[in-house]
Amino acid sequence: MRTVDSNHREKSSLLGFGVVEKRDLAESERTSERAGPTTSEARASSRGAMEHGSVTVRRLEPEEWVELRTLRLAALAADRLAFGSTLEREAGYPDDHWRAWCRRGASDPTEATFVALSGGQWVGMAGLFRADDGFHVWGMWVAPSSRRTGVGTALLGIALEWAAHRAPETPVQLDVNPSQADAVRLYRAHGFEFTGDAQPLGHDPPAVARRMARPGGAPR
């Protein structure tokens, strides 16, 4: 499944339970959970991170490429149908690919990668990039042990706030596997609705990804 090509990135969007993924990076290329507390219930720190109970949600740091690779490959292994890419594909990427992703995710003005940490363990991630038709959420995933705890809500919330801060009137899009009811519920709780657009998942033709979108502005 592909959505937008921003520069050299083919981005697809899948959730751990639905499609919300976006990326293959160097050339480029999602998670879910039942909706938990609202974004306003996650405490924002002075450094832009969010504290959600014992979980910290923040932007990726420039040198965290090893942790990023480990988390991303775990996501692909655990939820194959939640991503447009595959474990087989990305396990073969060179270190420079992950270093480049990490640098962009940490500091690029048009894209960002956010991660969730609990007790020193990386338990989730979400990406966002800006294209001509708006922002796109991609690569969102929450580890099974941390689902139904509000981590997905916190990740999506911080990503939407990042977008709203940079371009308040710009819409946000993502793709989701419609069979993933929890993912759809999470997105609808944040103002996303189906647009009518759909396409095959790609590496698993029977599966499809449907586009969802929400208007610009701060998350609900």
Q: Is residue 154 pLDDT above 90, yes or no?
A: yes
User: Region 84-94: what's the mean pLDDT?
Assistant: 94
Q: Averaged over 133-138, what is the pLDDT?
A: 95
Q: Which residues, other chains included, contact 109 with Cβ-Cβ below 8 Å and sequence gap of 6+?
A: 166
pLDDT at 50 over 90: no
d(CA 102, CA 68): 7
Q: How confident is the model at residue 48 (pLDDT cuts 50, 70, 90)?
A: low
Residues 180-193: tens digit of each pLDDT: 788 889 999 999 99
37: its two tokens: 């507390």
Judged against a pLDDT cut of 80, whether residue 7 lies above it is answered with: no
User: Which amino acid appears at position 58 of this protein?
Assistant: R
In the chain, what are the domain boundaries? 4-214
Residue 220 confidence (pLDDT): 64
Mean pLDDT of the chain: 80
**From 3.40.50.300, 2.40.220.10, 3.10.450.50, 3.40.630.30, which CATH number describes the 4-214 domain?**
3.40.630.30
Distance CA 140, CA 125 (A): 5
- Overall average pLDDT of the 159-179 stretch: 93
pLDDT reported for residue 135 = 97
The separation between CA 193 and the C-alpha centre of its own chain, rounded to angstroms, equals: 17
More confident residue, 6 or 114: 114
pTM across the whole model: 0.80
Tokens of 92: 């073969």
